[in-house]
A and B are shown apart, each in its own frame.
Chain A
Amino acid sequence: MNPTYQSLIAIVDAEHVSNRPEELYIYSFDLGTSEPHRPDYVVSPGTTEEIQEIVRLANRENIPVVPLGGGLSLAGLAVPLKGGILLDLKRMDRIIEVNEKGRYAVLECGVSQGQLTSYLERHHPHLTHSEPGAPPAATIAGNIMIHGQGDLAQPYGFNSDMVNGLEVVLPTGEICRFGSCAVGTRWFTNHPLPDMGLFLGWCGTTGIITRLSIRLLPAKRIRGIGRFVVDDEELVPEIMYKLTHTQMAEDIIAFSSAVPPFASELQHFTVNISADSEKELEMKQEIIWDDTLGEYIKKGDGAYLGFTRGLERPQISKTSDYKKGGGFEYVGSIMPVERYPECYRMGREISEKYDIPYTVTGRCIGAAHSMMFAWTYAFNRADPATIDGARNALHETDRLVMELGGVIWKPGVYGQRLIMERLDPGTRELMKKVKGLLDPKGIMNPGNWEIP
């Protein structure tokens, strides 16, 4: 038997290691347009200690290690570009603690968004978390790793801004803790120790997050979605500015898409509003729709489309159904809100060029400090020509993001290269040093963030 395979069995037991082709195949691709690459082994560890041992083994034998959460990034970030050990972390799915009064949860790295949502609904109905637009199987750790945002991004910002603490296995096998958990037993804050910032946004190239503490936020009794529409994309930035000024929304998203036809050439807003009472709800609705957006309605430039109770999750993946074949991938960007009109117009142009119905979305982050703007391209999984077309459109959009002065969000390898070409030389050198220091053998998710 292969000695590496034997060693892996010795660490996690035979049930949780595989090198069978059919299982390696499943882990060789994600749902986007990236080319598949098979790992040599798939391992599903159950503890931090097992991860330590696996990483030490990989270091000794110079084997790549690719950590995987829900596998839903779409950008190929957990596709094992250079083979090696694919670490499927979903078994580590314990919700270790929910601190009701301190409003935080300590989680293992495999806890999914849906799992935490249902746990909180059942056991802590006054608490919620910022759930991204991804399917519920997406993990909390995976999402903060890519600086994800969720449906509380407007008041609270990026999900990675809500981290209270991390436990990480370094590429050389040591465990590090960050935040208050590094000096005590409680995971209530990430501040005020010296800033490390070594793990978020690095796509698992600097270590493996094994535990994290995430802030929980007040869950109001009534949550719902109000809708508004305008026909002039130039109005979107000022409307987002005005809406954020009210401090009444939980989530503000603008979108436009060719399909279904009702959304075509129009800019729809969904504004999530929550309240504990009908009185509070009406007060917020009055301020948002009547006082803040009433002027657009009166002039005939904007229209209120009503308020429905309950949240719709997820949102963005719905577009995958609008073209035969069910495939889609998007370029996300973190962009100044004022760029919305150009993002929309130029995104449409790219979509039309590749004969793909256009779909664009802008989610407001913070008080309109930025937005996550996404261009989605559908393709037919059974048709290689449409996959190529979508891939070309994605690359063209990556370039557009840089031209517009934005930053590509969770970039794939192509986008990472574009960023590195433009990266401040001092920053690039520092990243290289950090990477070299933490991962001297370059075993962690190789192919990603490889700084020349």
Chain B
Amino acid sequence: MYELVFDKDLCLHCSTQACLTRCQYIEIDKETARKEILKIARGEDSFVLHDCATCYACEEYCTSGNHPFYLIAEKQESLGIPPVPRPLIQRAVNIGVPFRGRPEINEVNGPVLNMGAFSEYMPLIQGRLFEGLAVISTDERKMFHYFCQLMYLHYGRSSLIKERLPGIIETIAKHRPTEVVCFHDECYGAYTSYCEAYGIDVPFKPVHFYEYLYNRLLELKDMIRPVGLKVAYQRPCSSRLSPDKHVFVRRIFDLIGAESVKREFVDGNALCCAGAIEGQRREGSRKRAAEQQKRNIEDMKKAGAEICVFNCPACFQTLGGMVAGNGIKPIHMSDLCRLAINETPAGWR
């Protein structure tokens, strides 16, 4: 079985304990933070394991690359402190089970876009941005063969990721891709950050979706017409696994003439969509999630955002209707980019 590479000494000598002191869901001072993270690393109970909102942000806050969130998820499982109720875990475990036959494997021998478990979002993959790019996992009935499994971090079930992920990688590799553009941040995080932390071999080169979009927009630069929209970006939890790629959000906005509004909850301080918090076992989780969503949207409104840009389909599902109800149009990043090259995404007015 794959083991997490986690170095206690890095925490012992850390000068900031930023993993926990920067946490937006736990009030904690530096000394307590050090004590608690070391307790967790030793396999002891800690209130952090009970109060963790599973927002992934500590993976970004840790300046030593020591994977505190992977550690928390591991220990939640081994110590029997699941962040969500038992039936929700069972439901999630079941969701990832493919049930409609094997996928059709076509050898591509070139770059591919992997839709992962979001085949139903194929309508987003249209127009000149994606011309000539082969796409895999386009069939909703078989998409769980391409499901990166990282979602189970929200459920304290690391063991399932380790059990299933190598098989998923094998399926993708059968397409013989040279590069795999990951539609979702989480897949990119799985094949870069998670696999690296656990020593899981990845026989292809993962490419972040935004990096692909940015480079493609550069190729189509002559077609770009500034969108002139004030935008807020809903940063997904899984982007915390690849903070080095977050820079492409700003780069894309600059390139297409979108004005990123000045917000309190942005970049490192971004609030998650709260979809994972809503179902947690802690008392008051539903209300806590609703309050966070309200704060997040109020912040967008106060900053004057006209549109809210999403990457993660789960965030879109959770927050899309709410932002729309508050007069802010929700849109996926790829559709925003299509607007900039004079294409009209479905439903855009």
Contacts and interface: CB of A to CB of B under 8 A. Distances in A.
Interface of A: 229-231, 259-266, 282, 285-286, 289-290, 294, 296-306, 309
A300 B85 contact: yes
A266 B94 contact: yes
Contacts of A299: 85
Contact of A290 (B88, B92, B287, B318): B287
Interface string B262-303: 000000000000010011010111110010000000000000
A304 B279 contact: yes
Interface in B87-113: 87-88, 90-92, 94-95, 97, 99
B94 A298 contact: no
A260 B99 contact: yes
B292 to A, nearest CB: 14
Nearest to B98: A261
A403 B287 CA distance: 44
A22 B91 CA distance: 48
B87 to A, nearest CB: 4
A302 B87 contact: yes
A263 B275 CA distance: 20
A134 to B, nearest CB: 26
B166 interface: no
Given A261-B94, A261-B95, A266-B87, A300 B82 contact: yes
B225 interface: no
A262 B94 CA distance: 4
A306 B279 contact: yes
B228 interface: no
Contacts of A263: 91, 94
A11 B188 CA distance: 72
Interface string B314-331: 000010010000000000
B84 interface: yes
A303 B85 CA distance: 6
A231 B87 contact: yes
A304 B286 contact: yes
Contacts of B94: 261-266
A304 B279 CA distance: 5
Interface residues of B, number: 25
10 contacts: A261-B94, A261-B97, A263-B91, A264-B94, A265-B94, A266-B90, A266-B91, A303-B84, A305-B88, A306-B278
A263 B82 CA distance: 20
A399 to B, nearest CB: 30
Main secondary structure of the interface of B (DSSP, over half): helix
B95 A290 contact: no
Given A261-B94, A300-B85, 7 more contacts: A266-B91, A290-B284, A300-B86, A300-B281, A302-B85, A305-B279, A306-B279
Main secondary structure of the interface of A (DSSP, over half): mixed
Contacts of B321: 309
Contacts of B281: 297-298, 300
Contact of A261 (B85, B99, B284, B290): B99
Contacts of A262: 91-92, 94-95
A138 to B, nearest CB: 28
B91 A301 contact: no
Nearest to B95: A262
Given A230-B87, A261-B95, A294 B283 contact: yes
B117 to A, nearest CB: 12
The 10 closest A-B pairs by CB, nearest first: A303-B88, A303-B85, A231-B87, A261-B97, A261-B94, A262-B95, A300-B85, A229-B87, A262-B94, A300-B86
Name which of A230, A285, A306 has the most chain B CB atoms within 10 A of its CB. A306
Contacts of A230: 87
Nearest to B321: A309
Nearest to B280: A297
A303 B97 CA distance: 20
A315 to B, nearest CB: 18
Contacts of B275: 306
Nearest to B282: A298
Contacts of B87: 229-231, 266, 301-303
A303 B286 contact: no
Name which of B91, B279, B290 has the most chain A CB atoms within 10 A of its CB. B91
B94 to A, nearest CB: 4
A323 to B, nearest CB: 11
A37 B86 CA distance: 50
Contacts of B287: 286, 290
Interface string B61-100: 0000000000000000000001011111011101101010
Name which of A229, A282, A286 has the most chain B CB atoms within 10 A of its CB. A229
B92 to A, nearest CB: 8
Contacts of A265: 90, 94
Contact of A303 (B91, B99, B284): B91
A230 B88 CA distance: 8
A266 B95 CA distance: 12
Contacts of B91: 229, 262-263, 266, 303, 305
A259 B285 contact: no
B200 to A, nearest CB: 24
Contacts of B86: 231, 300-301, 303
Contacts of A304: 278-279, 285-286
Contact of B283 (A266, A298, A302): A298
A319 to B, nearest CB: 14
A61 to B, nearest CB: 53
Contacts of A286: 287
Given A231-B87, A304-B279, A297 B97 contact: no
A197 to B, nearest CB: 43
A309 B92 CA distance: 22
